[in-house]
Amino acid sequence: IGNLSDWSSADGGNHFLLIKTDGTLWAMGRNNRPSHGGSLGDGTTVNRSSPVQIGSLTTWSKVRCIGRTSMALKTSGTLWTWGESYGILGHGDEVDRSSPVQVGSLTDWASIGGGIDALHAIKTDGTLWCWGTNSKGQIGDGTVVKRSSPVQVGSLTDWATVAGGNRTALAVKTDGSLWVWGGHNQGATGLGNVTYYSSPVQVGSLTDWGTMPSTMDTSSQNVKTDGTLWMWGAGTSGILGNRKTIHYSSPIQIGSGAGWNSAVGLNFTVGLRRPTIAAGTTSGYLFGWGRGTHGRGGWGDAVTKSSPIQVGTDNNWTHLHGSGNETVGVKSNGTLWAWGQNAKGGLGLGNTTAYSSPVQVGELTTWSKAYNSGAVTTAITTSGTIWSWGQNHKGQLGQEDTTYRSSPVQIGSLTTWAQVHCMGSGVLGIKTNGTFWTWGYNGNGNLAQGDTTDRSSPTQVGSLTTWSVLGGGQNEFHIIKTDGTLFGCGFNNQGQLGDESTTQRTSLVGIGSLTTWSDVASVGATTFALKTDGTLWAWGKNSSGECGQNDTTARSSPVQIGTLTDWSIIPKGGGNVSSIGCIKTDGTFWGWGDGYEGYLGRNNQTDYSSPVQLGHHNDWAFVAVGGQSTRTIRKKYQ
């Protein structure tokens, strides 16, 4: 509504009342009806299609719109009403008012609520007061007598909040108990019957009800203190949200998840919910942003996206990897999916057709992880076998030939592979016995065999059995031993190996002497690593601020990014990458580097040379970068 950002609260139906942060009152919407009107409070019966200020006071604190009647509190504790009356305004008469009029002279009103036929309010002393039409006992004073001014409901002083519908009222006490009066013939009271009550009756015996009850003509709802949503009454048109159209005369839980804040409705229901995530959740929804060329983003077209966009609705993604124009992903059910360019058959779909949304690869349900490096994919199954497909001009498919494959083929028959990773046109693997193997392109010595000769089948690197964690880049890689030491090999023109040089290495070289490295990823020509203390380190290419040091100077040895110790997940990926994303232990996502065409997902083209948080969400679970695109997983919620 307009472009202002100083609104504080609002309520409405046929007309709306709004309060700004400066305490001014505004209104818009319907303001006239034959022989009635004035519900906006501007002294007229003219409809308003944009907000108009009501008076000049800056002391308004709460508002309620009830049919063609308006109700408000000021910071002074005074109560005001206006609009159509028929005795509901509380002034002791049935005269309509087209501007706010104080109800009595008391200054101890604390909260307000009401339905079409009756208004309700609670004072600072915890007493409950009601007035208006009372044909079904909705005032709650034990009668069905109409009241044109406030009357106290009982003598209790422990009422916390109240809400009213057409003929039903709900209230919660300070002890968390839920009470109802009035009624409806479809069970809106929640008392297990269709009886009308003229004084408050407790709904069940529980004391865990929240303070945001809501009831309208035929149904009622409230949220409990554990965040679960409960509803009852008419189920017509699916109002209750339980996939049925059955009436319920007692509260039923809606769904199984928590996180609900409130719900309101008349002929439909709207609720506010903050998703809750079960402990240990690692799978979730697929999101992406950045360049969409050849459909690499998976969002159904080739259009570049400068902010996160959800890909499909599935919430069981567990692993992603992409480099260049292709992406592969694995779901928690063990299925493998691919999308993107596919010029060399790298998607594994038996063809070279491009796909702009995820397509399942075969029918296997035992895939664990998959890695794509532009035109070749290598994947590992839960049984320890490895498979590859796509481009094979350097023998990177491990088949002892250079024949391209557009469908998965197994590399050997062993079931002892523990990890696999693509590295440009080279491939890395670790077996369950801790041995390290490489094959494919070796023009930069990146197979760590002491030469630059390509290999078309897995070849062991040395004889050690203590290799633990792989991190492949474009033409270089890093690997961590079980003792926490870090090694690198391959291309090094930007210092990305981290050995304080820019010298290419054809054999493994140690990166310092520390024994506290826990994870490593070579992304483009920049390397990122985590230590066991949660610190984040980077080195190599830095032309767009990739190293996170607030400058663009390349580094040939590890430098810490900031001083924080709460980093958790570093980006997996490769190819031409200069846009970085990492996840902290609290689930927040942080990006930096090249912001061209919105690569950082911040809806701008600004480069950042140090980490900046993306949005406010704290449910990020995985990140993969490659080819000017970012692929992420956000945890599924209950």
Residues 269 and 171 in one domain: yes
pLDDT at 618 over 60: yes
398 is written with which tokens? 């491990």
Residues 45 and 155 in one domain: no
Give domain status of residue 529, yes or no.
yes
For residue 627, the model assigns a pLDDT of 77
pLDDT at 35 over 60: no
pLDDT digits 0-9 by tens, 331-349: 999 999 999 999 999 999 9
Residues 15 and 65 in one domain: yes
Q: pLDDT category, 264, cuts 50, 70, 90? A: confident
- Angle value at C-alpha 457, between 428 and 487, nearest 5 degrees: 25
3-state SS class at 468:
strand
Residues 87 and 115 in one domain: no
- Confirm if 633 and 337 have CB atoms less than 8 A apart: no
3-state secondary structure 498-543: CCCCCCCEEEEEECCCCCCEEEEEEECCEEEEEECCCCEEEEECCC
pLDDT at 187 over 90: no
Please report where in the chains the tokens 């919430």 appear, as a residue: 315
- Alpha-carbon span 294 to 167, nearest angstrom: 59
For residue 36, the model assigns a pLDDT of 58
Least Cα distance to 178 among 222, 218, 142, 131 occurs for 222
What secondary structure letter does DSSP report for 116?
Answer: S
- The percent helix, strand, coil of the chain (3-state, each to 5) is 0, 45, 50
For residue 622, the model assigns a pLDDT of 96
For residue 58, the model assigns a pLDDT of 96
Q: pLDDT category, 468, cuts 50, 70, 90? A: very high
End-to-end CA, the chain: 32
Bridge-based pairing state of the strands 376-381 and 367-372 = antiparallel
- For the ranges 123-132, 183-192, 299-308, 611-620, the lowest mean pLDDT is seen at 183-192
- Exposed/middle/buried for residue 590 (C-beta within 10 Å: 0-12, 13-18, 19+): buried
Give domain status of residue 396, yes or no.
no
Least Cα distance to 540 among 515, 563, 566, 558 occurs for 558
- Alpha-carbon span 70 to 84, nearest angstrom: 8
For residue 14, the model assigns a pLDDT of 85
pLDDT at 255 over 90: no
For residue 34, the model assigns a pLDDT of 55
Q: pLDDT category, 396, cuts 50, 70, 90? A: very high
Count how many domains the chain has. Answer: 3
Give domain status of residue 193, yes or no.
yes
Spatial neighbors of 82 by CB under 8 A, at least 6 apart, are: 38, 39, 41, 69, 70, 89, 97, 98, 99, 100, 101
For residue 89, the model assigns a pLDDT of 95
For residue 217, the model assigns a pLDDT of 67
pLDDT digits 0-9 by tens, 127-137: 999 999 999 99
pLDDT at 631 over 90: yes
Higher pLDDT, 217 or 13: 13
Give all strands of the β-sheet with 178-182 in edge-to-edge order. Answer: 159-164, 168-173, 178-182, 197-202
Average pLDDT over residues 148-160: 97
Residues 125 and 259 in one domain: yes
**Quick one: how far is CA 448 from the chain centroid?**
42
- Confirm if 170 and 215 have CB atoms less than 8 A apart: yes
3-state SS class at 101:
strand
How many residues can be counted in the chain? 638
Give all strands of the β-sheet with 219-223 in edge-to-edge order. Answer: 214-215, 219-223, 229-233, 248-253
Give domain status of residue 354, yes or no.
no
Residues 119 and 66 in one domain: no
**DSSP assignment of 162-224:** EEE-SSEEEEEETTS-EEEEE--TT-TT-SSS---EEEEEESSS---B-S--EE-SSEEEEEB
Instruction: State which of 530, 547, 574 marks the end of a domain.
Output: 574
Q: pLDDT category, 312, cuts 50, 70, 90? A: very high
Q: Is the pTM of this model over 0.85?
A: no
Give domain status of residue 98, yes or no.
yes
Question: What value does the mean pLDDT of the chain take?
Answer: 93
Residues 166 and 17 in one domain: no
Give domain status of residue 71, yes or no.
yes
Give domain status of residue 62, yes or no.
yes
- For the ranges 351-360, 414-423, 488-497, 566-575, the lowest mean pLDDT is seen at 566-575
For residue 236, the model assigns a pLDDT of 87
pLDDT digits 0-9 by tens, 561-578: 999 999 999 998 777 788
For residue 400, the model assigns a pLDDT of 97
Residues 21 and 97 in one domain: yes
Instruction: State which of 574, 589, 612 marks the end of a domain.
Output: 574
Instruction: State which of 543, 574, 605 marks the end of a domain.
Output: 574
C-alpha distances in Å from residue 470, one per residue of 366, 404, 429:
21, 25, 8
Give domain status of residue 269, yes or no.
yes
**Which range has highest mean pLDDT (5-14, 119-128, 231-240, 242-251)?**
119-128
Helix (H) or strand (E) holding 270: strand 269-273
Range of the domain at 226: 108-274
C-alpha distances in Å from residue 126, one per residue of 90, 160, 169, 203, 620:
19, 7, 17, 20, 44
- Alpha-carbon span 386 to 479, nearest angstrom: 19
* The one-letter amino acid at 104: G
Residues 262 and 117 in one domain: yes
Residues 46 and 168 in one domain: no
For residue 185, the model assigns a pLDDT of 77
Q: pLDDT category, 2, cuts 50, 70, 90? A: confident
Instruction: Write the CATH number for 532.
Output: 2.130.10.30
C-alpha distances in Å from residue 400, one per residue of 249, 446, 456, 494:
72, 19, 5, 33
Residues 186 and 64 in one domain: no
Residues 114 and 239 in one domain: yes
Bridge-based pairing state of the strands 467-472 and 476-481 = antiparallel
Q: pLDDT category, 424, cuts 50, 70, 90? A: confident
- Alpha-carbon span 68 to 513, nearest angstrom: 76
